Chain A
């Protein structure tokens, strides 16, 4: 088959250079897979014409599930018959993207038999992406995945595959067990993940500290970010060692503190923790000397999304501090209340963040039974257009609520 690879002068150029080449990957797969060979031809044509050649996805999937497979067809099926169907299967990755060679080889064997031999490790949401197969191969592939314990991930208007940072497995800053929480939430919401029942998608991401290594604040409807409530742990000897090794503690650490709550007299580092914003800078700068406090949990934020339709949003604070302890019941109850409300009142293709903007955060909080707190806002409103809900009646002088 190798001698039958299509001529690809444009793509060949991308085999040069030091960064790993995706063209080499497709050519490797094309040694055995007609699908990957046709993909090469199609991509070369795209490079010549400066346009894609994929049609809108059809609705394909596996029995019993409404999500997990992305249908894809080329608009040049006569010319590239082997990628007339080129569907993607999303496979739920293990938390933290840890694998052993045995599990990965089993996935490779299945994909060699049923698909193009191409993958993405990983999709942006976290899934293993099996890139390119036909409609009739979906069931047999899923059937073999069942035998090795790998289930499909999410797609469509459902809970998407949760993901998390490496957390306690290999990080001294993890304020809760991100991998355990990620696994637990994934298992708890299997039905919501596999059978789309929402107005639109809903993503969870779990970061162990405010460094937010899975970018949860920007890429998840619900962002669960580790934090602590007490004082930063300081190892005075280690601070002195940093100073001795030539670190300019005043310039590098103290002057960079956003709360200006630190002082360095050349010998001792003094932190006024009541003003500390837990930004992580001093801890990042001196990992041997400073560590998060011992009373640990997470800040839960809600609503981030990309621009479509009303503009991009970052998640905003919903619960300033939550003790992340299994089975996370209180948080799951809140999640269920959010889903009930949003499923009932949300418009088609309206993300939770946009829904909150439309109905107003105050009304939203009332409906999900959460008290408003000052931690939820960057600042109070600047306009006077307030919906007052309490008023006095002329005769009675009694307070009534119109709420």
Chain B
């Protein structure tokens, strides 16, 4: 253990943001009047003072080497007085008050492999998690699936031909880090087999009451195995969420043969037109098929295209489905409706159809 020194600082928080603002932003802070999207990935904000700031937004892998960050810095030095920012969907933005810099920025960003887009009625970057790169509870990879899906949908990132915005998110397990429960299309890693209990290690590593309490369906009971305290899992009550593994390392449930991906649709967070909505289950299971996950890529392309072809202007995935009804959604997308689609968790009855408002 390293001794704390006299000059050690703590509790100072992040640096104040003001020192990082471009001069034109500082000058017009809170005075912006309107904005326009000039072309894919480029917008201009106009201030009450008449000043303008141009934004060029580029896609990024989110997982960045320091070499790439330094390349960003070089570009920022060249065109933006050293300033840059990142967005809440992990894109990188270069802000300049010089209109002539726009195309130079685009050229330099493309030269280092970063497409420009993600503004307006487009598919922006996929908010995602750690996957097999860094997480112990992942049922699928994050970076690989995202790369495969975005390679396939790149045309929708680089232009604005969709009826409305389409947000895609991925979580590698149902901790759902990120925005999976509220996205137009959500990719979620899932398990399909119960945990394997290591009765030898469990009493040493885990707090048994916490393990019982971690289960949403009360499938875990304390028990004695070979004279030692442990737990048992009532298999027919387990729905493979993995929360017991999160609190107890002796209950792994990774299973390469059965782990995979589910797809969810129709969530949103904005309040525009309709209130925020949760994503709902569309495809219960697709196999993990690295490195390109072709089944997942194809299923997502299908969802995007059926929505794009049929939705009205501004209509997000969830709004479109609300309008046409779920039976039509399943018919139009060709996704078979199965037992797994019907909710059977708390208050499931609220999701049943209690009317004759049906389409045939």
Contact = CB atoms under 8 A, between A and B. Distances in A.
Interface of A: 10-11, 13-14, 16-26, 28-29, 36, 39, 43, 46-47, 49-57, 63-65, 72, 86, 88, 92-105, 107-108, 111-112, 117-122, 124, 131-132, 139-140, 143, 146, 149-151, 163, 165-166, 168-172, 174, 177, 179, 183, 186-187, 190-191, 194, 210-219, 251-252, 256-258, 277-281, 284-285, 287-288, 291, 306-312, 314, 347-349
16 contacts: A19-B147, A20-B114, A26-B63, A49-B256, A52-B135, A63-B4, A65-B10, A93-B14, A112-B66, A150-B14, A170-B25, A172-B33, A212-B276, A218-B269, A281-B273, A284-B272
B274 interface: yes
Contact of B13 (A65, A72, A186): A186
Contacts of B66: 29, 108, 111-112, 117-119
Given A22-B147, A168-B30, A151 B182 contact: no
Interface in B220-271: 241, 243, 246-247, 249, 254-256, 259, 269-271
B229 to A, nearest CB: 19
A210 B271 contact: yes
A131 B63 contact: yes
B151 A307 contact: no
Nearest to A238: B34
Most interface-central of B45, B66, B254 (chain A CB within 10 A): B66
Contacts of B143: 22
A306 B188 CA distance: 12
Contact of B14 (A117, A139, A151, A281): A151
A279 B77 contact: no
Nearest to A11: B291
Interface string B63-100: 11111111011101100001111111010100100000
A322 B315 CA distance: 31
B82 A102 contact: yes
A11 B273 CA distance: 42
B67 A29 contact: yes
A172 B136 contact: no
B177 interface: yes
B216 interface: yes
Contacts of A65: 10
Interface residues of B, number: 117
Most interface-central of A10, A18, A187 (chain B CB within 10 A): A18
Interface of B: 1-2, 4-5, 8-17, 19-21, 25, 29-30, 32-36, 45, 53, 55, 59-70, 72-74, 76-77, 82-88, 90, 92, 95, 113-115, 127, 129, 131-138, 141, 143-144, 146-148, 150-151, 154, 157, 174-182, 210, 213-216, 241, 243, 246-247, 249, 254-256, 259, 269-274, 276, 278, 288, 290-292, 313-314, 345-346
Contact of B32 (A50, A105, A170): A170
A212 B176 contact: no
Given A14-B147, A95-B14, 8 more contacts: A25-B64, A46-B141, A47-B290, A104-B69, A121-B60, A171-B35, A257-B273, A308-B175
Contact of A219 (B60, B179, B241, B246): B179
Contact of B216 (A24, A51, A310): A310
A18 B85 CA distance: 22
A25 B84 CA distance: 20
Given A49-B256, A94-B15, A214-B88, A169 B21 contact: yes
